Amino acid sequence: MKASEISRIIGGEFKGSDATAEGFCINSKEVKEGQIFVAIKGKKHDGHDHVGEAFERGAVGCLVERDVELPKGRFAIRVGSTLEGLRKLALWKRESFKGKVIGIAGSAGKTTTKEMVAFLLSKVGKVCKTPRNFNSQVTVPLSICNFSQDADFWVVEMGASQRGDVKRLVQVVKPHVRVITAIGEEHLETFGCLDDVVVGNGEILLDMGSSDVGVYPSYVSNCYACNRHITFGEDSPFRAEDIRLERGGVRFRVSGVDVFIPVPSLAVVENTLCSFAVLEALGINWRELSKELRSFHPPEGRFRVIRYGHLTIVDDTYNANPLSVRKALETLSHFKGRKVAVLGDMLELGKDSELYHREVGEKCVQLGIDYAVFYGREMVHAFRECLSFGGRCVHFEDKGELLDFLKTLLADTEEKVVLFKGSRGMRMEELIKDLIEF
């Protein structure tokens, strides 16, 4: 697209060469030849400080809020707000898109469900999806600006940390199928309470068109008034039966159809039910496509199984909240052999953080986890609760001391399954990396 055309769409002030741009980027270190660098001013960093680097790496132009030095043959589009400029362009692209758009919100399982839906839809058409965990007010419009107009499906993950976040994204994404993967305790520091989590994620159902369809768990069906909807889970045709968890994956049945996924996780079962309901909403035969899941693999850090000597390491380190930790522990409890849970703090839970961490400690005992290793300031509450219920456990605040303990604990030849999980800020994946190198 020509720079002058982009400037016209977003109402910007255009300077420089009227070159053709091939995509957008907000990270100066990831800019590719021919892209536009979008200078976003955040709380800690200002993209305007990196415009020069973006040009050096091949950016053909930049979207900025102030004047910048332009190399020969490059351009700049100046707007009042680069984020609003990005949103305007994304909305322009969305309104001219002829395919189907799937928007995915929820407290847990968004990225895995997004990947699974995109994986299945790729068997019947061309798919564009939000990359990695691009689900924010910045990265969703950015992703749409980079989507192909000739695709058959756009699959968009939509994150939220407070009421209004999903509503604002829906105004741009305008999904035909509107998905809530799960509802549970998340970002309570900013949401405030679980009721606000319900309302906030439910914003994906706002301003639905007459042919749009909502997809959400049956356990929240009484929370939303949605004329056209499909539920999954208990009391729904999309429910899992005869679940059998193995180290190599999970088997179950849905409406008489046998399903196998090479991911040993109970959470991925729910992701699958949700994905089948999305296909149903689109009028696509999910029964025919279900066998394709034998070759599906989730994103890194989401129940990735690593076999290391006598250890089965379960890498579920991407993030954590009370809902996802409960699911991970329930899955661990189904494994054969000695079960060890290495759990880092669940962050951003606000005033009820102690309560939810204590529940984790009790859950470890209830589920028969053989040894719990708690890490972080908040996990001390889980440690004390686990200890009070007679569980075997330890607690560390120093990562080096924790790693030394794990090396000793896991050094014998007894078969063990070791789950690693914690919030993103705890960087639990570093423990796995250091552990398998010892």
Tell me what the mean pLDDT of segment 23-47 comes to.
Answer: 93
Report pLDDT for 292.
98
Task: Show me where the domains of the chain are located.
Answer: 3-81, 97-295, 304-435
Residues 119-146 have pLDDT tens digits of 999 999 999 999 988 999 999 999 999 9
Using an 8 Å Cβ cutoff, are 339 and 333 in contact?
yes
What is the C-alpha to C-alpha distance for residues 381 and 30, in angstroms, rounded to an integer?
41
Report pLDDT for 438.
56
Residue 437 has pLDDT above 80, yes or no: no
Residues 154-207 have pLDDT tens digits of 999 999 989 999 999 999 999 999 999 999 888 877 787 888 889 999 999 999
Longest dimension (CA), the chain: 71
What is the C-alpha to C-alpha distance for residues 368 and 87, in angstroms, rounded to an integer?
49
Tell me what the mean pLDDT of segment 16-37 comes to.
Answer: 94
Place of tokens 């549970």: 184
Residue partners of 8: CB distance under 8 A and separation at least 6? none
Using an 8 Å Cβ cutoff, are 432 and 403 in contact?
no
For residue 255, what is the DSSP state?
T
Nearest alpha carbon to residue 382 among 352, 354, 415: 354
What is the C-alpha to C-alpha distance for residues 61 and 422, in angstroms, rounded to an integer?
40
CATH topology of domain 3-81: 3.40.1390
Residues 222-259 have pLDDT tens digits of 999 898 999 999 989 999 999 999 888 999 999 999 99
- Bridge-based pairing state of the strands 153-157 and 61-64: unpaired
What is the C-alpha to C-alpha distance for residues 119 and 133, in angstroms, rounded to an integer?
16
What is the C-alpha to C-alpha distance for residues 91 and 365, in angstroms, rounded to an integer?
50
Whether the full predicted model's pTM is greater than 0.85, yes or no, is yes
Question: The CATH number of 97-295 is which of 3.40.50.1820, 3.40.1190.10, 3.30.70.100, 3.40.50.10170?
Answer: 3.40.1190.10
What is the C-alpha to C-alpha distance for residues 198 and 18, in angstroms, rounded to an integer?
47
Report pLDDT for 346.
96
Label residues 366-404 b or e (16+ Cβ within 10 Å = b).
ebebebbbbbbebbbbbbbbbbeeebebbbbeebeebbe
CATH of domain 304-435: 3.90.190.20
